[in-house]
Amino acid sequence: MALAKVAGTVTDVDKDDDNGVWYYYVDIETNDGREAEVQLNAASGAIVSVAWDDDDDDD
């Protein structure tokens, strides 16, 4: 499901609950080197959000 939204390679998967609702957090690295975290509802498989890690900090 996550790879249908963001093409690339899965680098990590976590499962966590928020007030009794379970979610999967799937980290994906795209072919151009960008990183995204896709949040899925664990029960329905619905994509809740996609967060992009635009790490432009050189700190």
Measured distance CA(33)–CA(11) in Å, rounded = 12
Per-domain residue ranges for the chain?
A: 2-53
pLDDT along the chain (59 residues), means of 10: 90 96 97 96 96 70
Architecture of domain 2-53: Roll (3.10)
Closest C-alpha to 22, from 45, 52, 4: 45
pLDDT, residue 5, reads 86
The model's pTM:
0.84
Closest C-alpha to 18, from 57, 53, 48: 48
Contact 37, 26 (CB under 8 A): yes
pLDDT, residue 4, reads 85
Contact 31, 49 (CB under 8 A): no
Q: Which run of H or of E encompasses 56?
A: none
